[in-house]
């Protein structure tokens, strides 16, 4: 489906629907009239087949205790195989109400209070919270920023692990907010360092299906023929791919029996909730029949990103726009025009945008912003117009 038809069919006004993104602007930013370009969900309805599957479930009228059916396992296993060449075994799978919840569980299950957990920054701010909130020692390894292109500082990463006796690495792949889709070589290096020093890896691959550039998304579990699979946990969800975040469903994959058993023991003490029957129903339908919708969505995201890149590069060339390889989140360095301390005043008060600010992802990223491209192009066009207009008025 082309961009125009996709937007006409699936774009939706989310105001007045208890939308965090739209209806909490006043509480979050103190201004209800901003253009919301922040939290990572969309202004697009989920695929029709997903809605129909939920309607059938709802029309049954009973929402009692449920279990995960074989058909769900099959749908997810087929999706991973077909989309990512990752062959998942049913017995490896566990479930959570969300990736962030899962990350907190991993920190608690595999480390003790006071242990060191490392993350590569700038990175999604709940990674920081999952370590700090649980009483662990947060170790941050900053990415190398070369004119907006981000790479891993492997030498410092390994030094930090050794110096702090790190127990767990929480990986982001693709990386939010800098949009990197890590190559086989990069993944091999970082995973080999972790294996060498007995550091367990929890790989958040929630954006695995949102690939915009040329790099191929490689699940951590199949890097270099799968030689690191016994030292990691993978967590994914249908939420980013199909705009299902509110249905609280995510997949945990643990192929190592000992690591899986340890997670099961921990879960017995903290995670006794029944599965979300509506979330499972929606995800199964999406994995079985949502590929065409995703392909059309990716065209919209690419269009929006290209619009941002082309117009801002032409009209405001001192802005540094990080190449978007994966995720639907564009990372922009405003410091060529704006004092980092004035970022909020410029972006929010003048440009009238609600964004995620750089310092939320790393203390070293004040003056950066993250913009959400999974939205109707009209919002992206307005955001770009506002940025250009206000830069020109400086």
Asked if the model's pLDDT at residue 303 lies above 70, the reply is yes
Among 288, 312, 347, the domain-final residue is: 288
Domain harbouring 338, CATH code: 3.90.1150.10
Q: Which of 171, 217, 225 is nearest to 194 (CA)?
A: 171
Asked if the model's pLDDT at residue 55 lies above 70, the reply is yes
Domain holding 70, by residue range, is 62-288
- Long-range contacts from 50-55, C-beta under 8 angstroms, 24+ separation: 50/242, 50/244, 50/282, 50/285, 50/286, 50/289, 50/290, 52/285, 53/281, 53/282, 53/284, 53/285, 54/278, 54/281, 54/282, 54/285
Domain harbouring 127, CATH code: 3.40.640.10
- For residue 197, what pLDDT band results from cuts at 50, 70 and 90? very high
- For residue 275, what pLDDT band results from cuts at 50, 70 and 90? confident
End-to-end CA distance of the chain: 41
Q: Is 49 exposed, middle or buried (0-12, 13-18, 19+ CB in 10 A)?
A: middle
3-state SS class at 210: coil
Asked if the model's pLDDT at residue 70 lies above 80, the reply is yes
Tens-place pLDDT, residues 199-209: 999 999 999 99
Same domain, 212 and 168: yes
Same domain, 376 and 318: yes
Full DSSP string of 296-363: HHHHHHHHHHHHHHHHHHHH-TTSEE----BSSEEEEE-TTTS-GGGHHIIIIIIT-EE-EEGGGT-T
Same domain, 34 and 69: no
Can you give the pLDDT at residue 272? 66
Confirm whether 56 is domain-assigned: no
Task: Tell me the mean pLDDT in the region 19-42.
Answer: 97
Same domain, 316 and 273: no
How many other β-carbons are positioned within 10 Å of the β-carbon of residue 198? 11
Q: What are residue 175's DSSP bridge partners?
A: 180
What is the side-by-side order of every strand in the sheet holding 166-172? 93-96, 250-253, 232-236, 200-204, 166-172, 116-121, 137-142
Q: Is 16 exposed, middle or buried (0-12, 13-18, 19+ CB in 10 A)?
A: exposed
Asked if the model's pLDDT at residue 116 lies above 90, the reply is yes
Same domain, 37 and 67: no
Same domain, 76 and 196: yes
3-state SS class at 236: strand
Full DSSP string of 100-162: HHHHHHHHHHH--TT-EEEEEES--HHHHHHHHTTTPEEEEEEPEEETTEEE--HHHHHHHHH
Same domain, 162 and 202: yes
3-state SS class at 223: helix
Tens-place pLDDT, residues 88-106: 999 999 999 999 999 999 9
3-state SS class at 274: coil
Same domain, 192 and 248: yes
Confirm whether 54 is domain-assigned: no
Confirm whether 53 is domain-assigned: no
- Two tokens, residue 86: 């990752």
Confirm whether 233 is domain-assigned: yes
Q: How far is CA 271 from the centre of its chain?
A: 23
Same domain, 193 and 234: yes
- Two tokens, residue 374: 């999974």
Confirm whether 57 is domain-assigned: no
Phi, psi of 65 (to 5 degrees): -60, 145
- Two tokens, residue 119: 């993350």
Same domain, 136 and 80: yes
Please state whether beta strands 329-333 and 320-321 pair in parallel, antiparallel, or not at all (unpaired): antiparallel
Among 288, 322, 342, the domain-final residue is: 288
Q: How much of the chain is helix, strand and coil, in % rounded to 5? A: 50, 15, 35
Confirm whether 52 is domain-assigned: no
> Which percentage of the chain shows pLDDT scores above 90?
96
Confirm whether 67 is domain-assigned: yes
Asked if the model's pLDDT at residue 47 lies above 90, the reply is yes
Task: Tell me the mean pLDDT in the region 204-224.
Answer: 97
State how far the Cα of 372 lies from the Cα of 41, in Å rounded to an integer: 8
Same domain, 72 and 193: yes
Same domain, 28 and 95: no
Asked if the model's pLDDT at residue 374 lies above 80, the reply is yes
Can you give the pLDDT at residue 273? 66
Asked if the model's pLDDT at residue 271 lies above 90, the reply is no
State how far the Cα of 80 lies from the Cα of 82, in Å rounded to an integer: 6
- For residue 274, what pLDDT band results from cuts at 50, 70 and 90? confident
State how far the Cα of 36 lies from the Cα of 374, in Å rounded to an integer: 11
- Two tokens, residue 232: 């990691």
Confirm whether 55 is domain-assigned: no
| Pair 277, 351: CB distance under 8 Å | no
Residues in the chain: 394
3-state SS class at 173: coil
Among 261, 288, 315, the domain-final residue is: 288
| Pair 307, 324: CB distance under 8 Å | no
- Give the number of domains in the chain: 2
């Amino acid at each position: 489906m082309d961009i125009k038809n996709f937007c006409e069919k699936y774009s939706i006004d989310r105001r007045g629907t208890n939308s965090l993104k739209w209806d909490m602007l006043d509480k979050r930013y103190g201004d209800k009239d901003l253009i919301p370009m922040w939290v990572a969900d969309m202004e697009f309805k989920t695929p029709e087949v997903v809605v129909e599957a939920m309607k059938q479930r709802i029309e049954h009228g009973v929402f009692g205790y449920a279990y995960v059916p074989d058909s769900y396992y099959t749908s997810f296993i087929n999706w991973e195989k077909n989309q990512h060449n990752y062959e998942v075994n049913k017995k490896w799978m566990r479930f959570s109400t969300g990736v962030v919840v899962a990350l907190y569980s991993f920190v608690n299950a595999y480390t003790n209070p006071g242990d060191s957990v490392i993350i590569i920054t700038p990175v999604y701010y709940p990674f920081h919270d999952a370590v700090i909130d649980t009483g662990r020692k947060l170790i941050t390894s900053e990415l190398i920023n070369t004119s907006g292109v981000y790479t891993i500082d492997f030498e410092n990463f390994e030094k930090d692990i050794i110096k702090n006796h790190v127990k767990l690495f929480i990986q982001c792949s693709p990386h939010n907010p800098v949009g990197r889709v890590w190559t086989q070589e990069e993944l091999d290096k970082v995973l080999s360092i972790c294996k060498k020093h007995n550091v367990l890896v929890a790989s958040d691959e929630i954006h695995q299906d949102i690939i915009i550039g040329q790099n191929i998304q490689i699940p951590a579990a199949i890097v270099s023929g799968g030689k690191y699979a016994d030292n990691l946990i993978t967590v994914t969800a249908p939420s980013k791919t199909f705009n299902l975040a509110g249905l609280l469903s995510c997949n945990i994959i643990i192929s190592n029996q000992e690591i899986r058993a340890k997670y099961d023991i921990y879960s017995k003490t903290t995670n006794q909730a029944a599965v979300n029957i509506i979330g499972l129903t929606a995800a199964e339908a999406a994995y079985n029949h949502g590929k065409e919708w995703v392909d059309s969505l990716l065209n919209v995201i690419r269009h929006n990103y290209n619009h941002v890149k082309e117009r801002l590069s032409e009209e405001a060339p001192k802005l540094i726009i990080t190449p978007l390889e994966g995720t639907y989140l564009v990372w922009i360095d405003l410091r060529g025009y704006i004092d980092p301390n004035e970022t909020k005043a410029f972006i929010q008060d003048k440009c009238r945008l609600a964004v995620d600010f750089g310092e939320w992802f790393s203390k070293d990223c004040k003056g950066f912003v993250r913009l959400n491209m999974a939205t109707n192009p009209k919002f992206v066009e307005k955001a770009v117009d506002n940025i250009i207009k206000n830069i020109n008025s400086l």
